[in-house]
Structure 1
Amino acid sequence: MKFLLVCLWLVAAMLSTEAHAAERSPGGMSGSGAAEARIVAVKKIDARMLDLTVGSPAMGMPIPVRVILPKSWKEKPKATFPVLYMLHGGDDDYTSWTRETDVEALSRKSDVLIVMPDAGKAGYYSDWHAGGPRWETFHTTELVRLMEKKYRARPSRAVVGLSMGGFGALNYAARHRGMFRYAAAMSSYVDLNDPGVRLAIGFGSDRDGVDIGKVWGDPVKDYDVWQAHNPAAMPRSFRGTRVHLSVGSGAPGPLDQGRSLDVVLASVVGEAGLPEQNKRFASALRSVGVKTTTHLYTPGTHSWPYWQNELHAIWPTVMRSIR
């Protein structure tokens, strides 16, 4: 069975290119103390949506960020707003949530600032052990401060991510305790010690031209670094944050109809190894007093139709959490 699971993860990595198509101000984080990030360009997409180009000292290059403004942004020029950060999956970018879901329409009646930063196709939401890039510093220090300074963001935050972005949401919530009131991970790996996860991220990173050793170092020699970025190793760090975990069984269903066979296969395999580790993680969180909800559903594959439904399902809770 273990051998079969490993094989499934390998197939998923090869076929997944389309499937992945605090109540305090942040500070004291790794790499903090650098010069402030700044907005170097703004492109208006529509009345509420903007694409920002952010000059990031941590990254040493400009990074795109998509923003959806609150409904009363113009009517309340002095108001501040709660913030929802939405993190994309691997082999994708900052446009994914608005490209694949109706989040702009969904948020039309919500006075919330939505921030969707780019994170690289295989950035792993981390400051790399090798010295760069520094995605974590950009997202959790520079960007948070910039949104507060330029877009009237309130220090009342939630974070939602899928796949690699779900890992990022959990990683950030644990490593920066108190930064987020709510963290949701959809179809995400949650335990870097899981053999299937290590195989999948290693193989996937090689495919994307990334040496995973540069991200967190050697899994043995730099064990502490790996565990410091492993949500499953830090259940107590989620105290004070409400956590939601959702994952499908891997079985295809009506929402997969009309998709090509290779894409469905990748979506099936990409999800199949996730339910058990999410169940274990949820149990560990509850055992230390973290308020945790789960949605383990069947059918359900590693694909956008299911994540769209999940976004609608959790939206009321997300909004209540950051009022």
Structure 2
Amino acid sequence: MSRGFLAATTALAVTVGADGVAVAAPDPVAPKQPSAEDGSHISGIRKVSDRVLDVGVYSAAMATRTRLTVLRAAHPDRPAPTLYLLNGANGGSDGNWLEGTDLVKFFRDKQVNVVIPFGGAGSYFTDWRADDPVLGRQRWSTLLTRELPPIIDAAFGGSGANAVAGISMAGTSVFQLAMDSPGLYRAIGSYSGCVRTSNPMGQAIVQAVVAQEHGNAVNMWGPPSDPAWAANDPYLHVNRLRGTTIYVSTGTGLLGSHDSVDGAHGNGVLLMYQVLFGAPLESVTNMCTHQLQDRLRELKVPATFDFRATGTHSWGYWQDDLHRSWPRFEAALTSSGAEQTSAN
């Protein structure tokens, strides 16, 4: 991966390209817009606020442009590790890390680039074996593990150290991505996810998530009898992540501090969703997470598990999870390789 970096200490001058995408005007201290060998490249950068950038990336693997939010490190003129935060089953279209948490405030003094990809609804952020009639071409694993990291490092002063965390559907994906690209991520965080995918319950959950976005899971891993389901099941292969910092969290489904009018920011509809749907969903992820803990203990793979006594499937708790897991991520991202192996 590229270790090159440029300072971005002055405001980006923004122009609009011919395709209507806001792009950065030439500026010797602005982020680079590099290209990868396969043609993947940053297609545009728009300044949202002092630290937040809206970034367009063309993926050669998917033959389309996707969007990222990038929160620059506190000191953009110095190398910084990268934390990728993945949205849930809707790909960020209805609730995402930027809207649902205090992300900008929390990371304002932290020397890390935070990257939030948008899109991939119902995709499990994996490479599908066939194009889906509704969801199209899904090559998210290639984008996230091969195309994007070197581009991000080159454009935003990446140190080459990476971590990835995700909620709900993406709580499974972070394990799969780390399995697909050993050594790329020093730490992974799974918040309210069901990691097991190839047993009957796991297959039912995956099929339901994909079907919710009108996709067909057969185009992802084939019919339920296909070996690809087991090959992509982190529960079966989590021993591959030995030496990776692993943080897993879940609530119980019992109503907690964020399941109130104030916790839902005065949004009654959101509160109703948390109570009617978020509670049973979280009770399922709690069961999945206990199974994963038993598996990791069996294999003697170190991991941190945070079983919250209460909490539904909702952003207030995922914000708490991010806050609690960050010290573990930070230690992994700033340690040497030898220290990382020793710590785990």
Native 8 Å contact 2:250 2:285 kept in 1:
yes
2:21 paired residue number: none
Q: Which runs of 5+ in 1 are unaligned?
A: 1-23, 26-32
Native 8 Å contact 1:40 1:55 kept in 2:
yes
Q: Equivalent residue of 1:251, what SS? A: coil
Give the Å deviation of 1:204: 3.2
Q: Name which one, 1 or 2, has greater alpha-carbon Rg.
A: 2
2:108 paired residue number: 108
Cα RMSD of the aligned pairs, angstroms, is 1.9
Overall identity of the aligned pairs, in %: 28
2:251 is the alignment partner of 1:251: no
Alignment of structure 1 residues 78-89 onto 2, 5 Å? 79-89=78-88
1:154 paired residue number: 159
Give the Å deviation of 1:237: 0.8
Alignment of structure 1 residues 218-233 onto 2, 5 Å? 218-220=223-225, 222-223=226-227, 225-233=228-236
1:176 paired residue number: 181
- Structure 1 CA distance, aligned partners of 2:282 and 2:172? 14
Aligned residues: 287
Task: Name the TM-score, length of structure 2 as normaliser.
Answer: 0.79
Alignment of structure 1 residues 128-207 onto 2, 5 Å? 128-131=128-131, 132-207=137-212
Q: 1:48 to 1:280 in 2, by over 3 A?
A: same
2:333 is the alignment partner of 1:322: yes
CA deviations over 1:112-151 (Å, ceiling 9, x no partner): 1111112421111111011532111011111011112222
Residue among 52, 75, 82 paired with 1:49: 52
1:17 paired residue number: none
CA deviations over 1:185-241 (Å, ceiling 9, x no partner): 000011013433322332332231100111111120x22x11222110112111120
Q: Which runs of 5+ in 2 are unaligned?
A: 3-35, 132-136, 262-267, 335-344
Native 8 Å contact 1:248 1:298 kept in 2:
yes
Q: 1:111 to 1:254 in 2, by over 3 A?
A: closer
Residue among 274, 277, 295 paired with 1:284: 295
- Structure 1 CA distance, aligned partners of 2:174 and 2:259? 26
2:125 paired residue number: 125
- Structure 1 CA distance, aligned partners of 2:188 and 2:282? 20
Give, as a single letter, the amino acid of the residue that structure 2 aligns with 1:99.
Answer: E
Give, as a single letter, the amino acid of the residue that structure 1 aligns with 2:43.
Answer: V
Native 8 Å contact 1:175 1:237 kept in 2:
no
Native 8 Å contact 1:53 1:64 kept in 2:
yes
- Structure 2 CA distance, aligned partners of 1:237 and 1:173? 9
- Structure 2 CA distance, aligned partners of 1:177 and 1:313? 25
